[in-house]
Amino acid sequence: MPISQSIQNSLAGSSMIRKMFEEGLSLKAAHGAENVFDFSLGNPDRDPPAAFLETLKALTAKPAAGAHSYMPNAGYFTTREAIARKVSCDQGVSLGGGDIVMACGAAGALNVVFKTILNPGDEVIVSKPFFMEYRHYAHNHGGRLVEIPAKPDFGLDVDAIEAALSAKTAAVLINFPNNPTGRIYSAETLAALSGALLRHGARSGRFPYLIADEPYRELAYGGRAVPPVLSAYPHAIVVSSFSKNLSLPGERIGYIAAAPGIDDKQNLLAGFIYATRILGFVNAPALMQRALAAFFERQDALSRDDMLEVYTSRRQAFMEVLNGAGITYIEPEGAFYIFARVPCGKNSVGDDALFCEHLKKHLILAVPGSAFGAPGYARFAYCVQETAIRASAQAFKNAVKSWAVY
């Protein structure tokens, strides 16, 4: 039986990251998982913090009446209040439970936001390189991404974004700490972006939303601050999740938070709640919502376990491995990815797809920068054991040596 033309077309150009995932499985089956250096996926290997698992255990040991029932589409109010307290703290604003809508991960949250705000043909501006699923999410809801190259150091090019604003711009979508570059934008950059959006809104009568996708907010290295967005621009929306900082990607739990002064806030939130329902999410997972509410009550909840410490050490190990192999990279400020420059071969200048194929021969899996709109780079995810990172050092050296002949 036929499938829709649109899905058929999308399948043809399907995600490179997923393809790597499948190839990784067959390489592991052939060579043994311990011999394959799989840095392809942002799928944390760490268990969730012990305090979270204890909370979960206690909840499942004594299930409350109705614990598995439907609930309001926005989520449990106690959970929304707990998230509002956390977001208020992160963002320097004062939010209540009514300002939060629980979601099925940041991915679910973005789909809900796009469904709510996009009219057919509307544009969403993103800075390139970016998490490529964004294209699909915008397309799902009749929108189109406008991809603006970042500055050479992968900072936001605010002037270029300002020049791309048009009557069709529904939103500017930013992601920081960034996947794939690890960049964290400064408060000054956010202020400049806010200024550009306000000027455009005043001129055109349409103030674009600023959507910040922040699942890596808690993973910032060397004491770096991740500046707030909700207090930087009145029409800002944060989407986030606990996939990365609490290692819960399979549990699909996240949220949407709207800035306190956002235009027509009640209508916007009603839109998010309605979209959650009609997209078939219905509500975010009940058990995870209850676990989060109880977890955030604990004194040790915000100690971040040893997550940041572990990733700090892995980041250092990865940089040493790449230094040893002579591969240069953008030093990550946050998240758990290293975006490395493809070394020059004999005849191939920065061919990232070829380089990643070549790495595979040395049992190293990485994602070509083209998958993020940045040819000439390769992304390595270091959410894997540090022993595996260190053990890959020789394979990287061999790969770079033999790459010189390509």
Ligand X SMILES: Cc1ncc(COP(=O)(O)O)c(C=O)c1O
CA–CA gap between residue 175 and residue 183 (Å, rounded): 9
105 binds ligand X, rule: CB under 6 A: yes
Near ligand X by CB under 6 A, which window of 72-80, 99-107, 156-164, 370-378?
99-107
Nearer residue to ligand X within complex by CB, 254 or 345: 254
Q: Which of 216, 167, 254, 235 is nearest to 333 (CA)?
A: 216
Please pick, from the candidates 106, 165, 230, 384, the single residue that binds ligand X as defined by CB under 6 A.
Answer: 106
Q: Where are the alpha helices (DSSP H) in 32-186?
A: 50-61, 77-91, 105-117, 133-140, 158-164
Nearer residue to ligand X within complex by CB, 116 or 179: 179
Nearer residue to ligand X within complex by CB, 105 or 334: 105
CB of 121 to ligand X, least distance (A): 24
DSSP 5-57: HHHHHHHHT--HHHHHHHHHHHHHHHH-GGG-EE-------SPPPHHHHHHHH
215 binds ligand X, rule: CB under 6 A: yes
Please pick, from the candidates 123, 213, 218, 333, the single residue that binds ligand X as defined by CB under 6 A.
Answer: 213
Near ligand X by CB under 6 A, which window of 4-12, 104-112, 150-158, 199-207?
104-112
Binding to ligand X (CB under 6 A): which residues in 362-391?
Answer: none
Binding mask 48-67 toward ligand X (x if CB under 6 A, else -) reads --------------------
The residue at minimum Cβ distance from ligand X is: 105
182 binds ligand X, rule: CB under 6 A: no
Q: Where are the beta strands (DSSP E) in 183-314?
A: 209-213, 236-241, 254-258
Nearer residue to ligand X within complex by CB, 126 or 399: 126
CB of 145 to ligand X, least distance (A): 14
CB of 241 to ligand X, least distance (A): 3
* Residues whose CB is less than 8 angstroms from the CB of residue 280 and which lie 6 or more positions away in sequence, other chains included: none
CB of 284 to ligand X, least distance (A): 11
* Residues whose CB is less than 8 angstroms from the CB of residue 3 and which lie 6 or more positions away in sequence, other chains included: none
Nearer residue to ligand X within complex by CB, 178 or 395: 178
175 binds ligand X, rule: CB under 6 A: yes
Nearer residue to ligand X within complex by CB, 134 or 329: 134
What distances in angstroms separate CA 26 from CA 35, 36, 40, 155, 361, one per listed residue? 12, 10, 14, 37, 13
Contact 136, 125 (CB under 8 A): no
CB of 198 to ligand X, least distance (A): 25
* Residues whose CB is less than 8 angstroms from the CB of residue 266 and which lie 6 or more positions away in sequence, other chains included: none
129 binds ligand X, rule: CB under 6 A: no
CA–CA gap between residue 15 and residue 13 (Å, rounded): 7
Q: Which of 333, 51, 329 is nearest to 217 (CA)?
A: 333
Nearer residue to ligand X within complex by CB, 42 or 373: 42
Please pick, from the candidates 40, 241, 370, 392, the single residue that binds ligand X as defined by CB under 6 A.
Answer: 241
CB of 336 to ligand X, least distance (A): 10
Planar angle of CA 189, 191, 194, nearest 5 degrees = 110
Tokens of 245: 């900082």
Q: Report how many residues bind ligand X under the rule CB under 6 A.
A: 13
Nearer residue to ligand X within complex by CB, 105 or 343: 105
Tokens of 203: 């001129």
> Any bridge partners for residue 341, and if so which?
377
CB of 180 to ligand X, least distance (A): 8
> Any bridge partners for residue 238, and if so which?
212, 257
CA 328, 330, 332, 338 dihedral sign is negative
Residues in contact with ligand X by the rule CB under 6 A: 42, 105-107, 131, 175, 179, 213, 215, 241, 243, 249, 254
